[in-house]
Structure 1
Amino acid sequence: MSSTERLEVLFDRYVRRECTPGEVTELVLLMQDPAAEEILTPAMMALWERIRKEETTYPVNWEQMYASVTSVEDVQEPLPQIRWWRPMAAAVVILLAAAGSYLLFISRKTAKENTTMPVAMQDASPGGNRAVLTLGNGDTIVVNAHQNGWTAQEGSSSVVKKDSNTLVYETTGKNTATTVAYHILTTPRGGQFRVVLPDGSRVWLNAGSSVRYPVAFNGTRREVTLTGEAYFEVAADARMPFRVTAGAVVMDDLGTAFNVMAYPDEAQLKTTLVEGAVKVQRKEEAVILKPGQQVAAGQELKVQTVDTDEVIAWKNGEFSFNHNSIYEIMRQIARWYEVEVKFEGQHDTYLSGNISRSANLSEVLRMLELAGDVKFVMKDGQVTVIKK
């Protein structure tokens, strides 16, 4: 059998999940041959068309994943540095970017017969629109328990639940109070919500986050305090700059859109500018970001250029991973699905790809298993990560 024929056979076996570990290694080696692209392109295109015709809804952004696959050919780095997938299986897992959820679909249909599936038959539903509002007097209100149109009054301001995921503040008259009341909107793990502040600025809260703000902005600055993660679209007002404080880091802007990730369990606080301009300061250090830049507050303020669509994917209903460690990925999953995560041993797995946040946890974990050298066991609200 020629190498060309062998490559075609192995590719077919691989997409059917019939390859032995030795055959996977052989496939990786054969795919490094420049002739492999010409051989496999028709097969991959046929597989792609077959997947697109399936009526089943898959938890993957197909268009973006396919674009990722077809763009790999433009990367001039040697195989071990391919940015889309973990180096050890990079060449083969490129196929999974197009075929992964198709394989997931096949495995789900045969799950009852397949007793070797590593994900235990337990599941967790994705998060949703959930939040708690703390009023100025300390009273708490479970916002998602109220119907649209619910309202509360605080001084000269009122807050209205406009729809299933949005609170809107409106000023009903001149503020004559000597002190301004503060509200706190908190999303639990597995929750997300949006609030339109009194000045018209909009804030999207990710899971396990909170934002504290006045019910009316007075003085020379609009100030809010954040824990967790939020995306801000700030209403322009040059006379009253907008400030976000997260721990020891302060972000100032005049009217812009940016994302702040400030979870206590993350090593670095990250601010990403989508449009406009923002100044990020910590004690004596300060940087001014341009659109498409991100500053990470570690031992120093470090600026880099990033893909903003990936950073704010959570706001648009997706997980977006770009060479993220399995530890980073599982922290995101733990927050959104309200599960505890345990690791057995040390892991050096890095993964990339997009998965819908509306998918059940079992679907997400199966996609991660297909893409990397990890497997998962789900039991009693805990996910254990095991090296394959």
Structure 2
Amino acid sequence: MNETEILALLQKYQKGTLSNEDKDKLDAWYLHKASNSNGQLSEYELQDSYEYLKSKLPLKYEKKVVSLWPRVAVAASIALLLGTGIFYFTKPKEQVIQVVEKPQEIAPGGNRGILTLSNGKQIVLADISAKDTIAKEGEKEEVTIKMNANGVITYIVNPDADASKNDANSFNTLSTPTGGQYNIVLADGTKVYLNSVSSIKYPTQFNGDQRMVELEGEAYFEVAKNKNKPFRVKSGNHAIEVLGTHFNVNAYNNESVVKTTLLEGSVAITYKNQKAILKPGQQSNVSDNFNKIAIREVDTEAAIAWKNGRFKFDNANLKTVMKQLERWYGIKVEYRGDVSDVRFNGGTFMNKNLSEVLKVLELSNIKFKVEGKTIIVYP
């Protein structure tokens, strides 16, 4: 039978007018095709084929395995729509075609954060409208906390406020969840870009002779210059001191190394009893596994790519890359096999669904299998 004849029989089946004799003809055609087919598709090809078929055929299915009748009619439909090279037949005795449903897309993170005030009150920032006054801080409410039109938290100190070096500071904490980032402008004008799964504790105004903040996770700082009041970032037993500069700090608890990358100006790194000065383009690495502060030249664009909405990898190992994806997409990663020697260069945009990012990584001959929110990695 040619394709025109098969299509005519198929249309009769869909209308419910197919005779037993015609059904036998289709059955014979099916068995002939099955016995001469040795092609088998990958899981991803099956997914694409299945999605295409759903849009073209009135298929009824249960769970992930579709038992057919007629198996003949569906086989004929597939053959006519896609050609025999885009699907595979099971053995005739099993009389079943297996298809795999396309996994649900995992969306990227976004602008999410939680602000904790000095009195312990927590504010979910996604619930606040732009240009709202969020709160006031200080004994005389001399500090106003607002959200500007771009969703950035800003601290505005009343110029008439009479703050003394001895006045006690009120502290706030900005934190981001998995899949969240947030920006803030501190009372001195310092801009802070907070990456996902991070937090920064800071005074609502900088009294005293220094500006001290505490960081967990990752943040990029554009420090307002004030030569009379140094700016210090503390993370565990690691400290950074600057007067006014641009730098990035990566200090996640689940990372073995704390990395400080300098883009502009100068910073002093203090770790235990050691001290080192960074120049622009350099990165310091400190760890309990190191005997001293390690300094190296790096691609600064890769270090701050997250701030600019990108993943950018500069000879990054696979597990470091996957930790970034875990924090941004809220996934869990499992490894099957040795991937210790896999390195990545290049990158992509963070506003893409996870499946698109994984396709980029697969160019380095790594395989991924998505099971719900778990990503299994194969070498």
Query: If the length of structure 1 is used for normalisation, what is the TM-score?
Result: 0.69
- Give the structure 2 partner of residue 168 of structure 1: 154
Larger Rg: 2
Q: Which amino acid aligns with 1:174?
A: A
Q: Are positions 1:126 and 2:126 aligned together?
A: no
- Give the structure 2 partner of residue 16 of structure 1: none
Provide closer, same or farther for how the CA distance between residues 254 and 121 of structure 1 changes in structure 2, counting only shifts above 3 A. Answer: same
SS at match of 1:133: strand
C-alpha separation in 2, matches of 1:261 and 1:190: 16
Q: Which amino acid aligns with 1:325?
A: N
- Give the structure 2 partner of residue 198 of structure 1: 187
Equivalent position to 1:143, from 125, 135, 143: 125
8 A contact 1:118–1:375 mirrored in 2: no
C-alpha separation in 2, matches of 1:248 and 1:241: 18
C-alpha separation in 2, matches of 1:175 and 1:210: 29
Q: Are positions 1:364 and 2:357 aligned together?
A: yes
Unaligned 5+ residue runs, structure 2? Answer: 1-44, 53-85, 89-98
Equivalent position to 1:247, from 201, 222, 236: 236
Q: Post-superposition shift, 1:112? A: 3.9
- Give the structure 1 partner of residue 144 of structure 2: 158
C-alpha separation in 1, matches of 2:155 and 2:246: 19
8 A contact 1:249–1:281 mirrored in 2: yes
- CA RMSD, Structure 1 to Structure 2 (Å): 2.3
Provide closer, same or farther for how the CA distance between residues 238 and 122 of structure 1 changes in structure 2, counting only shifts above 3 A. Answer: same
- Give the structure 1 partner of residue 60 of structure 2: none
Provide Cα deviations, 1:52-85, integer angstroms capped at 9, x if missing partner.
xxxxxxxxxxxxxxxxxxxxxxxxxxxxxxxxxx
8 A contact 2:163–2:207 mirrored in 1: no
Provide Cα deviations, 1:317-364, integer angstroms capped at 9, x if missing partner.
100011111101100000011111111122131111120001110100
Query: If the length of structure 2 is used for normalisation, what is the TM-score?
Result: 0.70
Range 146-155 or range 213-222, more displaced: 146-155
- Give the structure 2 partner of residue 59 of structure 1: none
Q: Describe how 1:172-251 pairs up with structure 2 within 5 A.
A: 172=158, 173-175=160-162, 178-251=167-240
Q: Post-superposition shift, 1:379? A: 2.0
Q: Which amino acid aligns with 2:107?
A: S
C-alpha separation in 2, matches of 1:164 and 1:382: 34
Range 196-205 or range 111-120, more displaced: 111-120
8 A contact 1:119–1:362 mirrored in 2: no
SS at match of 1:351: strand
Range 112-121 or range 203-212, more displaced: 112-121
Equivalent position to 2:375, from 355, 370, 383: 383
Provide Cα deviations, 1:95-132, integer angstroms capped at 9, x if missing partner.
xxxxxxxxxxx999878467899996232111100000
SS at match of 1:163: coil
Q: Are positions 1:334 and 2:323 aligned together?
A: no
Q: Which has the higher helix share?
A: 1
Equivalent position to 2:294, from 294, 302, 308: 302
8 A contact 2:108–2:351 mirrored in 1: yes
Q: Post-superposition shift, 1:245? A: 0.3
Q: Which amino acid aligns with 2:316?
A: N
In the TM superposition, structure 1's runs of 4+ consecutive aligned residues that sit over 6 Å from their partners are: 106-111, 113-119
Task: State the structure with bigger RCO (CA 8 A, min sep 6), 1 or 2.
Answer: 1
Equivalent position to 1:319, from 311, 315, 321: 311
C-alpha separation in 2, matches of 1:310 and 1:360: 20
Percent of residue pairs identical: 39
8 A contact 1:272–1:311 mirrored in 2: yes
C-alpha separation in 1, matches of 2:280 and 2:297: 9
Q: Post-superposition shift, 1:185? A: 0.2
- Give the structure 2 partner of residue 265 of structure 1: 254
Provide closer, same or farther for how the CA distance between residues 189 and 305 of structure 1 changes in structure 2, counting only shifts above 3 A. Answer: same
SS at match of 2:148: strand
Provide Cα deviations, 1:218-263, integer angstroms capped at 9, x if missing partner.
1110000000000000000000000000111100001000000001
Q: Which amino acid aligns with 2:319?
A: Y
C-alpha separation in 2, matches of 1:111 and 1:316: 37
C-alpha separation in 1, matches of 2:301 and 2:364: 23
8 A contact 2:336–2:376 mirrored in 1: yes
